[in-house]
Structure 1
Amino acid sequence: MRAARQAWRRLEPVHSMIYFVPEGGRRYAELGLKGMAGYFASRSAAFGEASADLVIATFYNFHPGLVREALPAAWDVVTPRQMLDARREAAAAALRRAGIHEVAGLDETLGLARRAAEAATESVEGRPLFAAHAALPWPEDTVEQLWHAQTLLREYRGDGHIAVLVSEGVGALDALILHGASGDVPTAFLKFSRAWPAEEWDAAAEGLRERGVLDGEELSAEGKALRKHIEDRTDALAVPAYAALGEDGCERLAELARPFGRAVVDAGLLKLG
């Protein structure tokens, strides 16, 4: 399980950069969408003309009002197919800007990542975002294939993560607060990007303090234990995808993935907006 988590973490920048790079915003704007409308429409387009309620449920941690400002109005401007194409093309352009196509071991890395992603399709139950993306055709371009493979693995893990949060009684806003308190992502960025009103944020934080998982603005010992449990369970639920590679395959993918993730970071593709 440790090797599988390393493989996912090291290759994850290849997918997640799409939420930060200017290539995405420019292409969405060319189609008539700006700001968060481009994000919600592009990521949910695999569902078809996704409703606001579907996105609220599957994306999990955005304030519902923010989602409703974007959907379903975006579908009066663009089609899901246009958004899928724009997102894929933006990802490829950004990754090529980072030199991903020149990193050694691309074909082997893609082979392992794709094998894991395809193995995940054998257990789609309870994983709506993954299932929607898994139904899309594989791109022909190698760089686009690598991005698609990691997109599938990310959504597979993400759906499992939400299942764990729900089972542990950690709501959407609770999850954001705990995430910020862990120090992984600046709380200020989470407040801005997820658009929860200050009074709702403060009330949820107070509830977490009463629950004993938050001590001031930081995680308590109980909170750290809860977060570790959530991450461990999420890792366990992601194992069916990586089990196809075996321990040696996961270790090899983790080894190969490092320079790909580093290239994305070094090119500044993950800079917070």
Structure 2
Amino acid sequence: MTDVQLARQSWRRLEPVHGMIYFVPEAAERYAALGLDAQAGYFASRSAAFGAASPELVIATFYNFHPGLVRKALPAAWDVVTPAQMIEARYEAADAALRRGGVHEVPGLAETTALARRAAERACEHPQGRALFAAHATLPWPSDPLLELWHAQTLLREFRGDGHVAALLAEGIGPLEALVLHGATGTMPTVFLKVSRAWPAEEWLAAEESLRERGLLAGDELTREGRALRQRVEDRTDELALPAYAALSDDELARLAELARAFGRRVVDAGLLSIGG
């Protein structure tokens, strides 16, 4: 059986390689060149694998953004750009940012890419119930090793993300409640979640009160029950991600986790995860 902790470690350490695309100026610059602001560019670029995605599809699959924020960007973006243009712009931005950060110079690129790709390709055998992942799985693999690694981690991230949404739904946690609970863990600044997801203050306060009534929050902190629920969600998310990492032996998975550390660290050290990084 695949080691759950090794699988989680591999994903977490390599995730900065994908996640930087939401922060680097290279992305905003390329979206602007096509006529979109950064916000519309985010929704259009991440959903472009669907084709000209409707706001309803994005609201459903991205899960925790205020619907009004999504509807402000879509479908208007598709009057300006095509999905193919957005996919190309996203790859160009990823390539430029990763090279600016020197990620292509990290030792072990070919080996790391090969291992991550095997996991991502195994994930492609399990698309059921994972709409956002399945859309990205239809995109062709880049030939460049650096972009190949970025695409592999993109697939692994969306595969895991779709499983995370399923785990939240199974626990009866809606999109705004998920954000409030996330903020209460202290792992992500609540102010960032409020600004980036754009839920009105009164709705945020109502969600907090609902969670207090459920015994999951006490003041602004998680209760014992709240911490237990968060742990159940994380554990279930880890379990649902395992089909991808089953492609690797435990030794190979440990090797991926070892190699991934240097790639994730390079992204962080280069400042690619900071706003405007």
TM-score range, shorter chain: over 0.9
TM-score (norm 1): 0.99
CA distance in structure 2 between the partners assigned to 1:35 and 1:94 by the alignment? 16
2:267 counterpart of 1:264: yes
- Residue 206 of structure 1 is matched in structure 2 by 209
1:267 deviation in Å? 0.5
1:25 deviation in Å? 0.3
Amino acid at match of 2:36: L
2:44 counterpart of 1:51: no
- Residue 197 of structure 1 is matched in structure 2 by 200
Aligned-residue CA RMSD (Å): 0.6
- Residue 32 of structure 1 is matched in structure 2 by 35
CA distance in structure 2 between the partners assigned to 1:100 and 1:60 by the alignment? 30
1:249 deviation in Å? 1.3
CA distance in structure 2 between the partners assigned to 1:199 and 1:219 by the alignment? 20
Paired residue total:
273
1:251 deviation in Å? 0.7
Amino acid at match of 2:271: G
Give the alignment partner of residue 150 of structure 2, picking from 142, 147, 150: 147
- Residue 182 of structure 1 is matched in structure 2 by 185
Q: Secondary structure at the match of 1:191?
A: helix
- Residue 218 of structure 1 is matched in structure 2 by 221
- Residue 11 of structure 1 is matched in structure 2 by 14
| Structure 1: gaps spanning 5 or more residues | none
Query: Which one is further off, 243-252 or 162-171?
Result: 243-252
CA distance in structure 2 between the partners assigned to 1:258 and 1:36 by the alignment? 30
* Residues 27 and 94 in structure 2, CA contact (< 8 A), matched pair in contact too: yes
Could you list the structure 1 runs, at least 4 aligned residues long, displaced by more than 6 angstroms after superposition: none
Amino acid at match of 2:270: A
CA distance in structure 2 between the partners assigned to 1:138 and 1:122 by the alignment? 16
Give the alignment partner of residue 109 of structure 1, picking from 108, 112, 125: 112
Same amino acid, percent of matched pairs: 72
Amino acid at match of 1:111: A
Q: Secondary structure at the match of 2:246?
A: helix
CA distance in structure 2 between the partners assigned to 1:233 and 1:246 by the alignment? 21
Amino acid at match of 1:260: F
- Residue 123 of structure 1 is matched in structure 2 by 126
CA distance in structure 2 between the partners assigned to 1:68 and 1:261 by the alignment? 33
Amino acid at match of 1:242: Y
CA distance in structure 2 between the partners assigned to 1:82 and 1:264 by the alignment? 26
CA distance in structure 2 between the partners assigned to 1:229 and 1:167 by the alignment? 10
- Residue 253 of structure 1 is matched in structure 2 by 256
2:84 counterpart of 1:81: yes
- Residue 245 of structure 2 is matched in structure 1 by 242
CA distance in structure 1 between the partners assigned to 2:220 and 2:251 by the alignment? 41
Q: Secondary structure at the match of 1:81?
A: helix
CA distance in structure 1 between the partners assigned to 2:253 and 2:177 by the alignment? 32
1:35 deviation in Å? 2.7
Amino acid at match of 1:185: M
Q: Secondary structure at the match of 1:118?
A: helix
TM-score (norm 2): 0.98
* Residues 115 and 252 in structure 2, CA contact (< 8 A), matched pair in contact too: yes
Deviation string 1:30-52 (CA, Å, 9 cap, x unpaired) is: 00000310000000000000000
* Residues 24 and 275 in structure 2, CA contact (< 8 A), matched pair in contact too: no
CA distance in structure 2 between the partners assigned to 1:88 and 1:174 by the alignment? 33
CA distance in structure 2 between the partners assigned to 1:9 and 1:262 by the alignment? 11
| Structure 2: gaps spanning 5 or more residues | none
CA distance in structure 2 between the partners assigned to 1:35 and 1:27 by the alignment? 9
